[in-house]
Homo-oligomer: A and B are copies of this chain.
Amino acid sequence: MNPIYLKILGSGSALPDKERFHSSQLLEVAGKYYMIDCGEGAQIRLWQYVGKTSRLHQIFISHLHGDHCLGLIGLISSFAMLGRNNNIEIFSPPGLESILRPQIDFFCKDRDFEVVFNEFSSYRHETIYQDKNLTVTTLPLKHRVPTCGFVFQEKEKELHLNRAMLDAFSVPVSAMKSIKAGADFVDERGVVVPNAKLTFPADKSRKYVYCSDTVCLEKIIPLIENADCLYHEATFLEKDLLRAKETFHSTALQAAKIARDAHVGKLILGHFSSRYKTTKELLAEAQSVFKESYVAADGATFTF
């Protein structure tokens, strides 16, 4: 089973610096790229860490604060200069197109692709995108402006064929497709060979959850349960809980409790306030309740 790769392009919060650019991530599933948020400088990180971007076709924007979407116009401009000819789809809360379209028309006149906007309601938990590998579902959050997280859920996979048994029962190639989908095999004499004899279990369908800027929201737990990996913002330490509440952000401890209660595989923390010189305390706080906690850093890759 190929791993899912999550590349952190930007792990900082409102004020960027050299070490931590604004929020952006690149998820790679079965060779396809999906960008999540696109803060200023995301394209710089993309060329730096990833290079080719022809496999990127969808960008998901959690909310319309500048540190989550101001990198879009630069990225689209560079696509135009590089001669891209595949459309790019952007999914966002309402309002992005009216801001971005005039810029695209002004700065990227000479382009051979379309920018397709898909604006979703931030108040509904709904599937906004799917392809053969996965579905993307919104996760309504609570921040100062309409905000959604995203659940990337791999689709159910085909069963693995048991080649030795297929040979033993002389199963023809024409039957393989339905067997991989779960069907039994009926031979020419009418004998039924149960599917379980002919296959091994399918690979697990993995789930990645991106929880962008939000106050701590326990109601998301049933929706993110058993995720293989959860990214959750952790702008503050618990000692600054008051500030977290005022600004509609979370603490590292809160993020870790969500991760623990949702039984996720691992937790990645990010979006740290620039008031903290290191992430040591943030990580320690999270690990005190959820051991599989990690800290995002620009350029880091997580696999699951």
Q: Is the CB of A15 within 8 A of B78?
A: yes
Residues of chain B within 8 A (CB-CB) of A81 are 14-15
Residues of chain B within 8 A (CB-CB) of A17 are 44, 47-48
Q: Is the CB of B70 within 8 A of A107?
A: yes
Query: Which residues of A in the span 81-111 have a Cβ within 8 Å of any Cβ on B?
Result: 81-82, 95, 99, 102-103, 106-108
- State the CA gap A76–B10 with chains docked (Å): 20
Closest CB of chain B to A162's CB: distance in Å? 49
- State the CA gap A15–B78 with chains docked (Å): 7
Residue of A17, A41, A81 ringed by the most chain B CB atoms within 10 A: A41
Whether, in the assembled complex, A285 has its beta carbon less than 8 Å from a beta carbon of chain B, the answer is no
Whether, in the assembled complex, A40 has its beta carbon less than 8 Å from a beta carbon of chain B, the answer is yes
Q: Is the CB of B15 within 8 A of A66?
A: no
Closest CB of chain B to A7's CB: distance in Å? 15
Whether, in the assembled complex, A64 has its beta carbon less than 8 Å from a beta carbon of chain B, the answer is yes
Closest CB of chain B to A271's CB: distance in Å? 14
Query: Which residues of A in the span 2-41 have a Cβ within 8 Å of any Cβ on B?
Result: 14-18, 21-22, 40-41
* Given A40-B41, A66-B77, A77-B66, residue A47 in contact with residue B16 (CB < 8 A): yes
Whether, in the assembled complex, A270 has its beta carbon less than 8 Å from a beta carbon of chain B, the answer is no
Q: Is the CB of A73 within 8 A of B70?
A: yes
Q: Is the CB of A47 within 8 A of B102?
A: no
- State the CA gap A66–B71 with chains docked (Å): 12
Query: Which residues of A in the span 166-202 have a Cβ within 8 Å of any Cβ on B?
Result: none
Closest CB of chain B to A58's CB: distance in Å? 22
- State the CA gap A102–B15 with chains docked (Å): 22
Whether, in the assembled complex, A226 has its beta carbon less than 8 Å from a beta carbon of chain B, the answer is no
Residues of chain B within 8 A (CB-CB) of A73 are 66, 70
Residues of A in contact with B (beta carbons under 8 Å apart): 14-18, 21-22, 40-41, 43-44, 47-48, 64-67, 70-71, 73-74, 77-78, 81-82, 95, 99, 102-103, 106-108
For this complex, 22 residue pairs linking A to B, each with C-beta atoms less than 8 Å apart, are: A15-B47, A15-B81, A15-B82, A16-B43, A16-B47, A17-B44, A17-B47, A18-B44, A21-B44, A40-B43, A41-B44, A64-B107, A65-B107, A66-B73, A66-B74, A67-B77, A70-B74, A70-B77, A95-B106, A99-B102, A99-B103, A103-B103
* 3 A-B pairs closest in CB distance: A40-B74, A66-B77, A66-B107
Given contacts A14-B81, A15-B78, 5 further A-B contacts (CB under 8 A): A17-B44, A21-B44, A65-B107, A66-B73, A70-B73
